Amino acid sequence: ELLKNHGVTDEQMTDKLLEVSVPDKRNGPELELIDLKRIKKHLTDPGFDVENALREHWKKYAYLGYRDVFSSGYSIDFFRSSLQEKDLNEMGLTHPPLLEFNFSPDELQVIHLLKEFVWFRNYRTERFFEGMFFLEPLWKQLSLSFGLGEHDLFYYLTDEVSKLFTHGDKVPVADLEQRKQGSALLLDDNHFLLLTGDLLKQKESAIQEVDESASQEIKGMVVCRGECQGPVSIVHNDSELDKVNDGDILVTGMTTPDYIPALRKAAAFVTDEGGVTCHAAIVAREMKKPCIVGTKHATQILKDRELVQVDANAGIVKIIS
């Protein structure tokens, strides 16, 4: 409504909304890149201890690579390799100035809150995984101290952990093994239900049904305009980020801050989820790369290395071959 009052048309709305919602604050991957550039700047300084600088950098930012339980975060070799990137100084996101709409103080406050909200969505995710990164070693030791496997405690529910700590009650081994093969928590009527085995498979099948009529053309919301074509690189989780090559079309459920290295390589982004203020939308706008979000099933219809045309003006992804 605020932008409409300043003459923004429906056709302009997505572009203008993205421009005014780009956060002023920087997230973890951006801060890491700034610090890495600083290290590179001092490489030729007499007496500069690059290995010590990299160790301190690793201690500060290793958690950015932790996105799944039992993952280890970024290694010092990852940052050492990143330091050698020939285009390192050109990498990074741009933070465009606020549009000149002559906003009133009250309107600027609304825009400030929007920027803060968009930034906080990523900040919240980073802090969650940073906490898990440092807590996981402690959790492993607790699991071993109760005579469990080092990962077993991760598959306990909250009340089961309490019973283990207070009474020594253990979850049957057969139940743990079933959970390890696949499990999910379903929120139903304000209660969590643990799904495993056949119940889990039935729920997954119901969720993943795909409209076969959409098999050759995928539609979504345009959040950064442009057109390009390239091979598809489907990323289901952070362990698959290394498969993205320069010029690929990155297709994923949703992006998070640790996707930044892969997003820099990709020619365009396509996601199943998201809207105009999601992470992929903000990053695409800052990197000036075509992006379509909210397709619902791009990761299910498209296949790795399939050639596609991304029309981020019309919001359509077409399979070429």
Task: Identify which of 201, 179, 205, 223 has the alpha carbon closest to the alpha carbon of residue 17.
Answer: 223
> What is the DSSP secondary structure assignment for residue 214, as one 8-state letter?
G
Q: What span, in angstroms and rounded, lies between the C-alpha atoms of 131 and 135?
A: 6
Query: How many residues in the chain?
Result: 321
Q: Which residues pair with 192 in a beta bridge?
A: 187
The answer to whether residue 279 is catalytic is: yes
Question: Could you write out the three-class secondary structure of 104-161?
Answer: CHHHHHHHHHHHHHHHHHHHHHHHHHHHHHHHHHHHHHHHHHCCCCCCHHHHCCHHHH
Contact (CB, 8 A) for 298 and 312: no
Contact (CB, 8 A) for 196 and 181: yes
Question: Which residue in 167, 236, 279, 297 is the catalytic one?
Answer: 279
Q: What span, in angstroms and rounded, lies between the C-alpha atoms of 26 and 251?
A: 24
Helix (H, G, I), strand (E, B) or coil at 102: coil
What are the tokens at 58? 């690793």
Q: What span, in angstroms and rounded, lies between the C-alpha atoms of 226 and 270?
A: 13
Residue that has been written with the tokens 């970024």 in this structure: 74
- Active site (catalytic) residues: 279
